[in-house]
Structure 1
Amino acid sequence: MAADIPKVVPLTCHGHSRPVTHLSFSSTVEDEQYYFISSCKGVRSQIPEITAFTNKPQIITQCFVMALRETGLVHSLATKVPYGKPDSRQMPPSQQQQQPISQRECLHTLQHAHIVRSVAFPIQANPQVLATGGAEKKLRIFDLTRGGSSSTPPTPSASSATTENGVSSYEIGAGVHNGTIKSIVWNQDYNVVTTAAEDRKVRWWDLRSRHPIVELGVDGPIGSCELNNLATRPNDSGILTVAAGKSVYLYDGVQPGRLLKKVDFDYDVASAAVNSESGRLVTGSANDTWARVYDLNTNEELEVQKGHHGPIWSVSFSPDGKLYGTGSEDGTIKLWKACREPYGLWR
């Protein structure tokens, strides 16, 4: 029961000046260190922001805010970044604090004709390829190697590619999406990508054939679509969590389209995340400011977290499952303790 976890004050992360649309945690890097990154909405007179945080040496230390200057607004993002090399472009954010944003080199500029709503890197390899989608209604795969030297096959085929600024891109499933692509998830199988769109369809794509493997409809507008990143159990395939209408759909993280469970609520669900190890489901609503915690097995409501001043558009668990973050319309991120033992600044 969540009641076994003593109530503590959440940690509030400031820094964004507009509503937070998405937040995502990295995997554990080293020495139990991880990062999370967030993005916010932009307006015509304001460039959207991305803010990164790290949990070391304290739970949260704001590291940098990076302005996006590509065509269109990025409403979603991925955290797979190339750490480990001495090049400053590939250092963890904590080592980049002293370097002015203006001096950081832009590695790639990927042009889009309209708003970019989601980006995704593959899970298995270094980020040599990138998937994007948005108001163009196009799922596009970009080859970031430029020379094609990636150890992982960067694209489904070398034919029908377009090249701009040295970066090749491929469209997957031209004309299939009938609405803005709101979310992209790269599956554990490198050749499978999942999209969730405003046409209320979740699609699993085979990058080799460029056709959907499975296409499933949901009962309402899609709010979020996330693959939980907990892999503490050897045989854990992961759970793809889709918040749509007044329901949360839980799909197998490996087998495309296999529905594990559907949970119905009496409110519109804007975001959802699961911790399969602790058996917890957290939701955010489009109609209020609360984060609700449920038992994943019994659907019992265990806790209601209050503190935001706007709807919660994004929910995500840390890689160790000991906290979860919520991003809100109020422009803040709150981190909520999800473990019994002392942790981070809650010691």
Structure 2
Amino acid sequence: MASLRQTPLTCSGHTRPVVHLAFSDVTESGYYLISACKDGKPMLRQGDTGDWIGTFEGHKGAVWGVALNPQATRAATGAADFNAKVWDAIKGEEVHSFQHNHIVKSVNFSIDSNHLCTGSNEKLVRIYDLNKPEAAPQIFSGHTSGIRHVTFFDNNSALITCADDKTLRVWDRNSGQEVKRLDFPAIPSSMEVSKDGNIITTTHSNIVTFWNSKELTKIKEFMVPTQVNSASLHPDCTIFVCGGEDFKMYKFDYNTGAELESFKGHFGPVHCVRFSPDGELYASGSEDGTLRLWQTIVGKTYGLWRCIEQTPAIQENTTVINNKQEVPAS
């Protein structure tokens, strides 16, 4: 396997930068991937192959945030048309639309799929009861700039947010009050909560930091070779991946911070990265308008990948789509 190079699968179809992505959990029919794009047309794909399933049509502005519920039966999107929408992910139909007063940057489902949280440039977080969509949402205020990311946390009893005011905050759902806070020297560009809920991964400048989610104490912090826009921790917490302004995807040892791999596949800055729920691959979205799927263990037979020996005709930017080798134009 030492002679093999990373061979990402390229998922095309978007016409503008891909700015966010999210996976479902593993279901009886596999797992799924949704992407947010400035073209206003979020797309649903089969997670392990990247095969296009459908496009959610209805937003009238750039889509900034996306989410799938664990079962992949519902999708959520937040957009520059000041709306957050919930969709039937099987039929592709709009189920709910929630009007805001500014751009909606982030959306996420509760674990039981009964509630939706949103974060917007209004500096507010909202929680909607999807069983009572006409009811007024619960509102959390305190951030002083637009909110970048929001997610449910601690068995849905809390929320975590990060914003352009250079803070990360934890909110108690019952009281609606901020209970913990972290201040950063620069705007936190991404935030991820581990599957077990114990570790929060953040990025800012060229730094990836891992936090104990209960106490908000720093576990580890590593500098990476580029301004980093997004990072994701493997489900078994042995490695993490990240990407940013130099177009590369990096893989690091979580325990030591040693760089394990770096691959250039995108033709623009990397905006978002996430590991699949089974940890076999990670996905990246870029300014170049594509999603790419990367193998966690290079050369392993999985999804559409097959073992390819390195030859002069097959370089690191080669893509494999539907088992056909294609070399993109430089």
Q: TM-score, normalised by structure 2?
A: 0.82
Partner of residue 74, structure 1: 63
* C-alpha displacement of 1:55: 3.9
* C-alpha displacement of 1:79: 1.1
**Number of equivalent positions:** 294
Q: Which has the larger share of helix?
A: 1
Query: Cα distance 1:92–1:121, how it changes in 2: closer, same or farther (>3 A)?
Result: closer
SS in 1 for 2:156: coil
* C-alpha displacement of 1:306: 0.7
Is 1:267 aligned to 2:256, yes or no?
A: no
Work out whether residues 35 and 55 of structure 1, in 8 Å CA contact, stay in contact via their aligned partners in 2: yes
Alignment of 1:134-173 (within 5 A): 134-146=120-132, 166-172=134-140
Alignment of 1:120-135 (within 5 A): 120-123=108-111, 125=112, 127-135=113-121
2:237 and 2:4 map into 1 onto residues whose CA distance is 16
SS in 2 for 1:222: coil
Partner of residue 55, structure 2: 65
Partner of residue 201, structure 1: 167
The RMSD of aligned alpha carbons is 2.4
Is 1:116 aligned to 2:104, yes or no?
A: yes
* C-alpha displacement of 1:326: 0.5
Is 1:288 aligned to 2:246, yes or no?
A: yes
CA deviations over 1:106-146 (Å, ceiling 9, x no partner): 311100111000011112x1x21111111111011111112
1:181 and 1:264 map into 2 onto residues whose CA distance is 24
Is 1:50 aligned to 2:45, yes or no?
A: no
Work out whether residues 73 and 116 of structure 1, in 8 Å CA contact, stay in contact via their aligned partners in 2: no
* C-alpha displacement of 1:314: 0.2
> Unaligned regions of 5+ residues in structure 1, if any?
43-47, 147-164, 230-235
Work out whether residues 83 and 91 of structure 1, in 8 Å CA contact, stay in contact via their aligned partners in 2: no
> Unaligned regions of 5+ residues in structure 2, if any?
75-85, 307-330
Is 1:249 aligned to 2:209, yes or no?
A: yes
Work out whether residues 226 and 246 of structure 2, in 8 Å CA contact, stay in contact via their aligned partners in 1: no
* C-alpha displacement of 1:212: 1.1
Does 276-285 or 108-117 show the bigger shift? 276-285
1:83 and 1:274 map into 2 onto residues whose CA distance is 21
SS in 2 for 1:209: coil
Work out whether residues 141 and 169 of structure 1, in 8 Å CA contact, stay in contact via their aligned partners in 2: yes
Query: Cα distance 1:120–1:183, how it changes in 2: closer, same or farther (>3 A)?
Result: same
Alignment of 1:178-327 (within 5 A): 178-229=144-195, 236-253=196-213, 255-277=214-236, 279-285=238-244, 287-327=245-285
Which letter does structure 1 place at the counterpart of 2:156?
Answer: Y
SS in 1 for 2:65: coil
* C-alpha displacement of 1:282: 0.9
SS in 1 for 2:278: coil
CA deviations over 1:133-167 (Å, ceiling 9, x no partner): 11111011111112xxxxxxxxxxxxxxxxxx724
Q: Which has the larger share of strand?
A: 2
Partner of residue 34, structure 1: 31
Partner of residue 9, structure 2: 11
2:97 and 2:231 map into 1 onto residues whose CA distance is 31
Work out whether residues 6 and 263 of structure 2, in 8 Å CA contact, stay in contact via their aligned partners in 1: no
Query: Cα distance 1:194–1:344, how it changes in 2: closer, same or farther (>3 A)?
Result: same
Query: Cα distance 1:129–1:276, how it changes in 2: closer, same or farther (>3 A)?
Result: closer
Work out whether residues 73 and 117 of structure 1, in 8 Å CA contact, stay in contact via their aligned partners in 2: no
1:279 and 1:166 map into 2 onto residues whose CA distance is 44
Work out whether residues 14 and 333 of structure 1, in 8 Å CA contact, stay in contact via their aligned partners in 2: yes
CA deviations over 1:40-88 (Å, ceiling 9, x no partner): 114xxxxx111010147xx222011112437x65301111166579xxx
Work out whether residues 74 and 115 of structure 1, in 8 Å CA contact, stay in contact via their aligned partners in 2: no
CA deviations over 1:25-54 (Å, ceiling 9, x no partner): 1110125x0001001114xxxxx1110101
1:30 and 1:91 map into 2 onto residues whose CA distance is 17
Same amino acid, percent of matched pairs: 33
* C-alpha displacement of 1:317: 0.3
Work out whether residues 25 and 72 of structure 2, in 8 Å CA contact, stay in contact via their aligned partners in 1: no
